[in-house]
Structure 1
Amino acid sequence: MAYLFLAIVILQRFAELIIARHNERWLRAQGAYEVGASHYPYMLALHSSFFIILILEITLKKTLVSPVFLLLLLLFIGVQAMRIWCIYSLGRFWNTKIFILPNATVVHKGPYRFLRHPNYIVVSLEFLILPFMFQAYFSAFIFTVLNAAMLSVRIPIEERALRQATDYSKAFK
């Protein structure tokens, strides 16, 4: 069951990469440019290795589903709803890379009315919830730490670029 569940989540990630690539083409055609490209391969490695290590931990430890699996599944579904809300709210501006469209009006709807980076919260929660669903605590710990390190680089780059080229400072006072 764990493998099927994770396969579905991985397929969802591939679908998101297709959306991101489509949005990238549109953004570039509008004059957007990428920032933070140097850390992007590390982010891809982080997200890819998360699933590899999680599957390895589940396989090697022969873990069972968590005793609170149903609760965690409901939390995961809620987090996925938040992910979809983020993607839908940003529309063509949503991407896995950081693209800046000069002089654009920053999206300030959906979850972005309440939080600056709700999609990063979604990812952080997934790095906890997915491993906990299958009692893979090593994966939960190590990828939470690695993700925090990644976000400590990524968020300042994104915010600096948005402040310099868009109405970000005005939108998020």
Structure 2
Amino acid sequence: MMWPSIALLTFVTLQRLGELALARRNTAALLARGGKEVAPEHYPVMVALHAGWIIGLWLLAPGKPVDLFWFAVFMGLQALRLWVLATLKDRWTTRIIILPGTPLVTSGPYRFLRHPNYAIVVGEIFALPLVFGLTLYAIGFSLLNACVLLVRMKAENAALKSVMIVK
């Protein structure tokens, strides 16, 4: 039975494409308001990692049984993703955009974690392959993602520290 895996992969692919469109719109608006992009050199690597992750899942997962526990974990992460998007609104983007003089967001999931979106992505990159029983895939992409996130979080934290004010 291929339809459950195809349906889930279609959902994730469409979700990511929709988020890229939203991010592009938000990035343009932030830049128009005086925002500055920080550390853009890592961005193509991050995009390639995420594209490779999805493409690889399309190659390996169709027809594999869906593990309901990991499916529930993954869907729980989607609820948290929506919480992040709703909290950040027009400030959510896939790039690091700093808007000088703007207070840090400290509501929603940002009350509990400094980078909840990154925590969610870490969970997604690990959990979705496990939905299909792809354990080594989950570990491999998680390690690659950790490398990208270390660079990204270091750059973002430094930028936030230098220009943002806390409410």
**Scaled by the length of structure 1, what TM-score is found?**
0.90
Shift, 1:55, TM fit? 2.3
Letter in 2 for 1:42: V
What CA distance in whole angstroms lies between the structure 1 residues aligned with 2:112 and 2:154?
19
Letter in 2 for 1:40: Y
Of the three residues 83, 86, 91, the one matched with 1:85 is 83
Corresponding residue of 1:28: 31
Letter in 1 for 2:25: H
What CA distance in whole angstroms lies between the structure 2 residues aligned with 1:63 and 1:141?
18
Corresponding residue of 2:158: 160
What CA distance in whole angstroms lies between the structure 2 residues aligned with 1:136 and 1:56?
12
Name the count of aligned residue pairs.
164
Corresponding residue of 2:128: 130
Of the three residues 93, 102, 112, the one matched with 2:110 is 112
RMSD (CA atoms): 1.3
Write the deviation string for residues 115-143 of structure 1: whole angstroms up to 9, x where unpaired: 00000011000111110010112210110
What does 1:29-44 align with in structure 2 at a 5 Å threshold? Answer: 29-44=32-47
**Structure 1: which 5+ residue stretches go unaligned?**
none
**Scaled by the length of structure 2, what TM-score is found?**
0.93
2:41 is paired with a residue of what secondary structure? Answer: coil
Letter in 2 for 1:22: R
Contact 2:57-2:129 within 8 A present in 1 as well? yes
1:12 is paired with a residue of what secondary structure? Answer: helix
Say whether residues 1:14 and 2:17 are aligned partners: yes
Of the three residues 51, 54, 74, the one matched with 1:51 is 54
Contact 1:63-1:136 within 8 A present in 2 as well? no
What CA distance in whole angstroms lies between the structure 2 residues aligned with 1:63 and 1:76?
16
Letter in 2 for 1:3: I
What CA distance in whole angstroms lies between the structure 2 residues aligned with 1:52 and 1:145?
17
Contact 1:35-1:100 within 8 A present in 2 as well? yes
What CA distance in whole angstroms lies between the structure 2 residues aligned with 1:133 and 1:58?
9
Shift, 1:56, TM fit? 2.1
What CA distance in whole angstroms lies between the structure 2 residues aligned with 1:135 and 1:108?
37
